[in-house]
C-alpha cells in the first residue's frame, strides 16, 4: 500500500504519526489489541501486515477524533493523541 504511513514499533505497541502542517497526531495500536487480533505469538511482520490491511479502520479513530464522531468496535481501542 503506497499511502501507508511509517509504522514504528514502541515496545509492544505500534505507532503511526500523521498530520498536516497545522495539526499532527500520534495513533497508537496497543500491543494487547494486536495480541487479540493476530495472536500473542505473532511476529513483527505479521503485526505490521495486519495494521496495513486494517488501516482504514485504524484511521477511523483519527477521523472520529477530528470530527467528534463515534468509533465502532474494535477501533475504540486505538489511541489517538494530538501532538504539540
Domain membership of residue 1 (yes or no) is no
Domain membership of residue 76 (yes or no) is yes
Domain limits for position 17: 7-83
Domain membership of residue 2 (yes or no) is no
Domain membership of residue 20 (yes or no) is yes
pLDDT the model gives residue 66: 86
Q: How far apart are CA 28 and CA 81, in angstroms?
A: 8
Q: Which residue has the cell 503511526?
A: 16
pLDDT the model gives residue 49: 97
For each of the chain's 84 residues, which pLDDT tens digit applies? 447 889 999 999 999 999 878 889 999 999 999 999 999 999 999 999 999 999 999 999 999 988 889 999 999 999 999 998
Domain membership of residue 44 (yes or no) is yes
**HEC string of the chain?**
CCCCCCEEEECCEEEEEEECCCCEEEEEECHHHHHHHHCCCCCHHHHHHHHHHCHHHHHHHHHHHHHCCCCCCCHHHCEEEEEC
Structural domains counted in the chain: 1
pTM of the model: 0.90
Cell (9 digits) for 26: 500520534
Amino acid at each position: 500500500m503506497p499511502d501507508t504511513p511509517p509504522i514504528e514499533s514502541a515496545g509492544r505497541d505500534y505507532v503511526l504519526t500523521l498530520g498536516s502542517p497545522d495539526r499532527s497526531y500520534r495513533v497508537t495500536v496497543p500491543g494487547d489489541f494486536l495480541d487479540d487480533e493476530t495472536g500473542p505469538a505473532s511476529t513483527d511482520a505479521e503485526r505490521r501486515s495486519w495494521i496495513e490491511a486494517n488501516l482504514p479502520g485504524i484511521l477511523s479513530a483519527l477521523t472520529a477524533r477530528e470530527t467528534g464522531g463515534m468509533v465502532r468496535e474494535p477501533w475504540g481501542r486505538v489511541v489517538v493523541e494530538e501532538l504539540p
